[in-house]
C-alpha cells in the first residue's frame, strides 16, 4: 500500500484553496514519482500535538484541531471518501514520551512519527507531503534529525503562493492561510477560505475571531 503522510497544525485547516485542496490532490493521484509511478492508496493526515515553534504554542486544544481536520477532509471531499484518514499518532507518541532534564517534555518530531508508522505498518510505503515553506525548513536543517528523515522517506513539496515553486507540480492553491482565517470574522472571506463544516465548528465553539461571541444557548 502507498500512503502519503500530511502533517499540519490544523489551526484551522483551510479549504480547497489550501489544506483541503492539497489532501484532495494527493488522494486522487493515480501515479506519483515517489511511488515509482504507482498511485496513492491513502492519505494519512497527522495533526500536530505540540508545535515545535514557540510562536505557535497558543493553539486551540488538540481535540478541537483534530475534529476540525476530520471535518475538513471528510464530508466536504466526497471524491476521496475512504482514502483519507485523520490520525492522532502525534498525541499517542507525545503522551508516551519521557520527560527530559528539568521535567521538560521531550519533543516528538516528524522523524519519530515516521519511524513509528514504518514499524507499525511494515507493508506500507510512505511518502511525506509538505508545503514549499515547510520543505525549505526541512532542507535547512530546522527539523529534528532533518537529514535522517530525508533518508527515510521521499518528500513531495507542494508549491505555495509566494513561497517558492516546490517540485513544480501540485494542486491549484490560493494565498489563503490559517493565520488570515484566525484574524478574520468576515463571513464572505471565511466561507471562501474554509470548508463549511469547519466554519460551522469554529462558530459553534467560538474559536478565533468568534471567541467573544455571546453563547447562543
Domain ranges of the chain: 2-210
- At 166, is the pLDDT very low, low, confident or very high (cuts 50, 70, 90)? very low
Distance, in Å, from the CA atom of 126 to the CA atom of 112, rounded to the nearest integer, reads 14
Which pLDDT does position 54 carry in this prediction?
47
Q: Has residue 31 got a pLDDT over 70?
A: yes
Q: In the prediction, which pLDDT does 100 show?
A: 46
Gap between the Cα atoms of 172 and 152, Å rounded: 28
Q: Please say whether the structural domain 2-210 has been given the CATH code 2.40.30.30.
A: no
C-alpha distance across the termini of the chain, in Å: 47
Rounded distance between C-alpha atoms, residue 210 and residue 60, angstroms: 13
Peptide bond into 150 cis (omega under 30): no
pLDDT at 51: 61
Per the CB < 8 A criterion, the answer to whether 153 and 116 are in contact is no
Q: What is the pLDDT of residues 81-90, one digit of tens each?
A: 999 999 999 9
Average of per-residue pLDDT across 125-142: 91
pLDDT in the model for residue 99: 54
Mean pLDDT value across the chain: 88
What is the spatial distance between Cα 52 and Cα 176, in angstroms, rounded to a whole number?
Answer: 23
Instruction: Please tell me the distance from the alpha carbon of residue 50 to that of residue 193, in angstroms, as a whole number.
Output: 24
DSSP 8-state symbol, 105: B
Q: Please state which of the ranges 96-100, 133-137, 155-159, 207-211 shows the lowest mean pLDDT.
A: 96-100
Q: Mean pLDDT over residues 136-142, rounded?
A: 91
pLDDT of residue 52: 58
- Count of residues for the chain? 217
pLDDT at residue 210 tops 60 = yes
Mean pLDDT of 164-180: 75
5: pLDDT strictly greater than 90? yes
Residue 66 has pLDDT above 60, yes or no: yes
Q: Which grid coordinates belong to 204?
A: 459553534
CA distance 10 to 19: 9
Query: Mean of the pLDDT values across residues 57-75?
Result: 92
Residue 202, pLDDT above cutoff 90? yes
Amino acid at each position: 500500500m502507498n500512503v502519503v503522510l500530511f502533517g499540519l497544525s490544523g489551526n484551522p485547516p483551510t479549504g480547497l484553496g489550501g489544506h483541503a485542496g492539497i489532501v484532495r490532490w494527493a488522494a486522487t493521484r493515480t501515479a506519483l514519482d515517489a511511488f515509482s509511478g504507482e498511485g496513492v492508496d491513502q492519505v494519512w493526515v497527522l495533526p500536530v500535538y505540540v508545535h515545535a515553534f514557540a510562536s505557535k504554542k497558543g493553539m486551540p486544544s488538540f481535540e478541537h484541531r483534530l475534529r476540525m481536520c476530520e471535518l475538513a477532509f471528510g464530508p466536504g471531499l466526497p471524491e476521496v471518501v475512504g482514502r483519507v484518514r485523520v490520525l492522532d499518532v502525534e498525541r499517542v507518541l507525545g503522551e508516551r514520551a519521557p520527560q527530559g532534564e528539568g521535567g521538560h517534555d521531550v519533543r516528538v518530531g516528524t522523524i519519530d512519527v515516521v519511524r513509528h508508522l514504518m514499524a507499525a505498518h511494515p507493508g506500507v510505503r510512505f511518502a511525506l507531503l509538505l508545503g514549499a515553506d515547510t520543505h525549505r525548513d526541512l532542507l535547512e536543517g530546522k527539523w529534528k534529525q532533518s537529514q535522517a528523515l530525508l533518508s527515510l522517506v521521499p518528500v513531495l513539496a507542494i508549491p505555495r503562493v509566494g513561497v517558492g515553486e516546490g517540485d513544480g507540480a501540485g494542486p491549484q492553491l490560493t494565498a489563503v492561510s490559517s493565520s488570515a482565517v484566525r484574524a478574520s470574522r468576515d463571513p464572505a472571506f471565511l466561507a471562501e477560505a474554509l470548508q463549511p463544516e469547519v466554519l460551522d465548528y469554529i462558530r459553534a465553539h467560538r474559536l478565533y475571531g468568534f471567541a467573544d461571541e455571546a453563547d447562543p444557548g
